[in-house]
Amino acid sequence: MKGIVFTEFLEMVEAKFGYEMVDKIISSSELSNDGAYTATGTYPHHELLQLLNELSNASDTEKSVLLHSFGTYMFVTFKNGYPGFFEGFEHGFEFLKSVDAHIHKEVLKLYPDAKLPSFETRGDGNEMRMTYRSYRKMADFAHGLIEASMSHFGHEHQVSKKVLVQDGSEVEFHIVIEV
Ligand code: HEM
């Protein structure tokens, strides 16, 4: 998993819970590099899961809630870091369709070792279904990113989630714009 995911995760933990919490979850996890991540490096995905577990225990917050918040937080990072990917869209659904069709493909050119989820979208008008597939099972992170995207494009929205494969590797989001 790319280092930017780790550096942003720890930054979010610091912003929401304070530096002591960052210190606490790093020292209670078994990390290969003592939590010294760089944005362009690549690190084992299980280290993120460990940090998430430790944060969930220490803050008494469900992992799904933390991952969703992390998605919302990461949206701002992407928006500031890659403004070009957000330009030229009138509608949030067009942007969401471009994640699989364009954005993540460009990400792969920049970072050939990135492991990205796949998204399948259908429907238009005021409703869209977006199916997430990834062995990393980070659908709640996607959920936060989807909601932040809809807000960014000015849509009042409801997003519901249906688990298609029990282990969380396949999840369908139903996004409805309230008019
Ligand atoms: C400019 C916008 C975006 C950029 C630059 C971007 C880039 C990235 C990068 C670098 C990763 C890490 C890959 C790795 O660690 O190997 C990632 C992962 C991910 N991205 Fe995006 N992304 C963007 C927008 C989105 C949006 C809007 C969504 C949701 C609809 C999304 C869903 C995900 C998910 C769920 C993952 C976690 C990996 C997984 O579940 O397999 N991304 N993205």
pLDDT at residue 124 in the model: 80
Q: For residue range 105-124, what is the model confidence (pLDDT) as tens digits?
A: 999 999 999 999 999 999 98
pLDDT at residue 141 in the model: 98
Domain 67-177 top-level CATH class: alpha beta
Q: How far is the CA of 123 from the centre of ligand 1 (A)?
A: 22
Which residues have any ligand 1 atom within 6 Å of their CB? 1-2, 4-5, 78, 82, 85, 96, 99, 103-104, 107, 114-117, 134, 136, 138, 141-142, 145-146, 149
User: pTM of whole model > 0.95?
Assistant: yes
Domain-by-domain residue ranges, the chain? 3-61, 67-177
Q: For residue range 17-55, what is the model confidence (pLDDT) as tens digits?
A: 999 999 999 999 999 888 999 998 999 999 999 999 999
DSSP label at residue 8 = H
pLDDT at residue 40 in the model: 87
Given a cut of 90, whether residue 68 has pLDDT beyond it is: yes
